[in-house]
Amino acid sequence: MVDRSKTEREMTSFSSNDLFDIKRRVLRPNAVRRSVASRRAFTLVELLVVVLILGILTSIALPSFITAVTDTRKGMANANALAIAKAVQANSITTGSYDTTLADFTHDLGGALPLNPCTGTTTGYTLNTVGASSATVTANVGTACGSWTPITFSLTH
């Protein structure tokens, strides 16, 4: 069994440190708040650690991001070349021959030629005719996509 008088005695007994702390809080109640409020800035070490972590994350993520951007540009250039090839093929079915002027297909492509993201221009596609019965459409390589081999779309009657 627990001696209650002893427990109550322990609860009411204070050490000299406890009494000093109580006096300090009673006499200067804002002293504790002032010490917390006075620390408003980060230390130099904390800032350097944050910069270091950001640098490491950037060095890991940036190459992946650049690769994803160039792969997307290559895919868009090939997709646009396919759209031009379909417009050229549709026009050749009606006229019976392949036209070599890209500007003639703007109506079939929604009013304008698509932008080649690798060259940054609408003239970044090559349309070659081989006789009257076949043609090829290729996206130009450009400088924004690095070295790559675009798809060549071959068209025949």
pLDDT, one tens digit per residue, over 68-83 is 999 999 999 999 999 9
Among 135, 130, 120, smallest CA distance to 84 is for: 135
Do the domain assignments include residue 61? yes
Residues of the chain with pLDDT under 50: none
Do the domain assignments include residue 131? yes
Predicted pLDDT of residue 140? 94
Bridge pairing between strands 134-139 and 152-156 = antiparallel
Query: Which domain does 120 fall in, by range?
Result: 44-156
Predicted pLDDT of residue 16? 65
Q: Extract the tokens encoding 67.
A: 């690769």
Do the domain assignments include residue 51? yes
Do the domain assignments include residue 54? yes
Q: Using CA atoms, how far apart are residues 154 and 82, in angstroms rounded to an integer?
A: 10
Predicted pLDDT of residue 33? 56
Predicted pLDDT of residue 131? 79
Predicted pLDDT of residue 38? 60
Do the domain assignments include residue 109? yes
Predicted pLDDT of residue 65? 95
The total domain count for the chain is 1
Do the domain assignments include residue 65? yes
